[in-house]
Amino acid sequence: MLRVGSVLQGYSIEATDGGIGSVSDFLFDDSTWKIRWLVVDAGTWLTGRKVLVHPSALGTPDDARLQFPVKLTRQQVKDSPDVFRDQPVSRQMERNLYGYYGWDPLWGGSLFGMGSNAIAQPLVPRPFFGDGTRMESAEVGMHSEEGDPHLRSMASIAGYHMHATDGVIGHVETLLIDDATWGVRYLIVDTRNWWFGNSVLVSPYAVKEIDWSINQIRLDVTRDQVKSSPPWQPAETVNEEYEKRLHAHYQWPGYGW
């Protein structure tokens, strides 16, 4: 099922023996567009810490109760390796969490579970550090424990300007996430300053480059293509039929159909 990322923010995370906090953000890999972690605000229960939960530990969301069940106990979470609230998530932190919980870093297979149909690196090839500064390959090795240069926040990408090949079309509102594969299926783009009253879906397939230093995403589509794309309203459910029409319009690959 496709879910709006911003709607899931605030869902409570329920361990097998009680609550551990609520979803405050999603961290995704900017080279694969896979969600790597849910960021959980533990409130006063674990003051000064943030809790990272891997998607493989999640059960089916309960939309009536606004809850995510997780296959963990409160004690497991309490004893987990520290991930401090105001520090970047380093690769070492991630390794510690994978090892402690026994989570598989390759869980979910290739991007979107599509095997050979996966997106081929839609972003700029060189990674970026946490402040958006591009680093050379030697520098990446030097800073590997300071912050994973490919780990990005859903909350921080909101508001980024979206540029078609011939001009701006709007800004990122949030992400549309597949809760089966935990891949970012689409970016939801608010076009109100260019095309009043409309929102559109843009697949990561269309992303040519992200410039983190100036909050800008460049796309391989034209403004006319966007305006003539199959109409979509935020209140409508995105189904397979609509996705096929959308992908046919832009000539994007499918998602395993």
CATH number at residue 176: 3.90.50.10
Residue 62 lies in a domain: yes
Q: What is the pLDDT of residues 133-184, one digit of tens each?
A: 333 433 333 334 556 778 889 999 999 999 999 999 999 999 999 998 999 9
Q: For the residues 16-22, what does the mean pLDDT come to?
A: 94
User: Of 101, 121, 140, which residue constitutes the final position of a domain?
Assistant: 101
Joined together, the tokens standing for residue 225 give: 């293509």
Q: Is the pLDDT of residue 247 over 90?
A: yes
Are 10 and 88 in a shared domain?
Answer: yes
Are 9 and 96 in a shared domain?
Answer: yes
Binning pLDDT at 50, 70 and 90, where does residue 23 land? very high
Number of domains in the chain: 2
Q: For the residues 19-29, what does the mean pLDDT come to?
A: 93
Residue 12 lies in a domain: yes
Are 85 and 175 in a shared domain?
Answer: no
Domain residues for 229? 158-252
Residue 141 lies in a domain: no
Handedness of CA 92, 97, 103, 107 (dihedral sign): negative
Are 15 and 86 in a shared domain?
Answer: yes
Residues facing 62 on adjacent strands? 67
- pLDDT value at position 147? 64
Are 11 and 96 in a shared domain?
Answer: yes
Give the distance from CA 43 to its chain's centroid. 23
